[in-house]
Amino acid sequence: MSVQETIQSKISAALSSELLEVHNDSHEHAGHAHGGTETHFRVLMVSKEFEGMRKVARHQKIYQILSEELDGPVHALVLLTYTPAEWAEKQ
């Protein structure tokens, strides 16, 4: 299983979501010291579970879910986390 698939699977198993997209942005960092094929990711997630949570708490929750990946192959993780209402406002 790729790192991208692992990230998707772990988040899906731990949190319910209306939208979950995991993008591998590693190709944009190929020349950097931590550049590689699966080192930089962007996660877009819309979940009712984020209601009442500040963005920092949302991010901490995902960091906890992905702690093994963050200690290993993942060098950078961009998190875009929204409640359904916040996401609707952005559309």
What pLDDT is attached to residue 59? Answer: 98
Structure tokens at 6: 């692992």
52: left (phi > 0), else alpha (psi -120 to 50), else beta? left
Taking only the tens place, the pLDDT of each residue in 4-22 is 999 999 999 999 999 999 9
Taking only the tens place, the pLDDT of each residue in 40-82 is 899 999 999 999 999 999 999 999 999 999 998 898 999 999 9
Q: Are 44 and 78 in contact (CB under 8 A)?
A: no
Structure tokens at 26: 């590693």
The overall pTM is greater than 0.85: yes
What pLDDT is attached to residue 77? Answer: 95
Q: Which of 81, 79, 76, 78 is nearest to 38 (CA)?
A: 76
Please report the domains of the chain, with CATH numbers, ordered by start residue: 3-90 (3.30.300.90)
